[in-house]
């Protein structure tokens, strides 16, 4: 038996999935993204010498803001109460790894919120550094984990 797409109605039209009968459970998801940067760019970010300001602080705020607005950005995504959003940055030789962890108590998961947060953090870093680094690449946007616990 072929898997059915939950966002397709029997007639093939798109629909928002009805989660109203599902119980509220604690949901957590973590996603990551990578942005490759030249070593000189990473050094400027670390020493807060990028002309546009504090890159990682700005990227963190942008990610949290995006997490809270995911339902407005992705057409069939439910708007969820975000109870916690955490964004971490890890410098690597080739760039910066971004991890975004999101938690809620809801009837559906927060995978899209975590993925959106990691993506927007990477895009914000790109925007703030594009004048000094012309070879940046955003890659590896993926879900690392998701969990659900009964309330």
Do 123 and 129 touch, CB atoms closer than 8 A? no
Q: Which of 55, 16, 26 lies closest to 151 in space, CA to CA?
A: 26
Average pLDDT over all residues of the chain: 92
Is-catalytic flag, 127? yes
Tell me how far apart the alpha carbons of residues 145 and 151 are, in angstroms, rounded to a whole number.
Answer: 19
| Terminal-residue alpha carbon distance, the chain | 33
Q: What is the pLDDT of residue 15?
A: 75
Q: Which of 3, 18, 127, 133 is catalytic?
A: 127
Instruction: State yes or no: pLDDT of 6 exceeds 90.
Output: no
What are the structural domains, with CATH classification, of the chain?
25-150 (3.30.70.640)
Token pair, residue 77, equals: 């995504």
Q: Which of 62, 56, 52 is nearest to 128 (CA)?
A: 52
- Greater model confidence, 22 or 128: 128
pLDDT tens digits for 80-110?
Answer: 999 999 999 999 999 999 999 999 999 999 9
């Amino acid at each position: 038996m072929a898997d059915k797409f939950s966002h397709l109605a029997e007639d093939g039209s798109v629909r928002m999935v009805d989660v109203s009968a599902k119980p509220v459970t604690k949901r957590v998801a973590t996603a990551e993204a990578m942005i490759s940067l030249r070593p000189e760019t990473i050094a400027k970010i670390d020493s807060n010498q990028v002309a546009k300001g504090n890159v990682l602080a700005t990227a963190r705020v942008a990610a949290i803001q995006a997490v809270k607005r995911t339902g407005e950005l992705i057409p069939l995504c439910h708007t969820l109460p975000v109870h916690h959003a955490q964004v971490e940055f890890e410098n690597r030789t080739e760039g910066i790894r971004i991890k975004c962890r999101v938690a809620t108590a809801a009837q559906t998961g927060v995978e899209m919120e975590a993925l959106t947060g990691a993506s927007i953090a990477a895009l914000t870093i790109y925007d703030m550094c594009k004048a000094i680094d012309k070879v940046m690449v955003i890659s590896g946007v993926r879900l690392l984990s998701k969990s659900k616990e009964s309330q």
